[in-house]
Amino acid sequence: MTLADLLLVGNLPDADAKQYALVFDQGAQDALIAAQAQRPDAHHRVAPVQLADGRWILCADLLTEIGPGGLYADGFSLLPPELFAMVVVMPWFDALALLPQPEPERARDEQSRFLPNDPVMLDVNEAWVQS
């Protein structure tokens, strides 16, 4: 589903909106930055997070504030409507799986020597740690 499809349905209740993410490409991110730059005095801004594949993510709960009187109403009106067809709406946990994962590092002792894995510990590999 795209944001354009979702907007045709109408407003999402708060509880439903929190279950979805808006995922978009660099072109949409640039349009969002440009729209926010047109309102330098605005106190309410969104800050997308970049995904591992280069796309960007926002929580869909911001859509509850795009209607008249909403926190993002004025800024949302500055976005080109053709952009909404390029924004994918997906379940929040599916989108979170696309976030960059930290690379594991070799575990070291106090003298900076590599630590080996203990083969007795079948469910843990002590030779590697998450950074």
Taking only the tens place, the pLDDT of each residue in 104-125 is 888 888 999 888 888 888 788 8
Task: Please tell me whether residues 82 and 61 are part of one structural domain.
Answer: yes
Task: Please tell me whether residues 69 and 41 are part of one structural domain.
Answer: yes
Task: Please tell me whether residues 64 and 116 are part of one structural domain.
Answer: no
Task: Please tell me whether residues 82 and 108 are part of one structural domain.
Answer: no
Taking only the tens place, the pLDDT of each residue in 50-103 is 999 999 999 998 888 888 888 888 888 899 999 999 999 999 999 999 999 888
Domain count, the chain: 2
Task: Please tell me whether residues 106 and 64 are part of one structural domain.
Answer: no
Task: Please tell me whether residues 118 and 70 are part of one structural domain.
Answer: no
- 128 touches 106 (CB < 8 A): yes
Task: Please tell me whether residues 90 and 108 are part of one structural domain.
Answer: no
Of the CA atoms within 13 Å of residue 47, those in its CB half-sphere come to: 2
Cβ density class 96-131: b for 16+ within 10 Å, e for less = eebeeeeeeeeeeeeeeeeeeeeeeeeeeeeeeeee
The token pair at 83 is 């952009």
Tell me the residue range of the domain where 52 lies: 3-96
Phi and psi angles of residue 22, each rounded to the nearest 5 degrees, phi first? -105, 120
Q: What is the pTM of this model?
A: 0.75
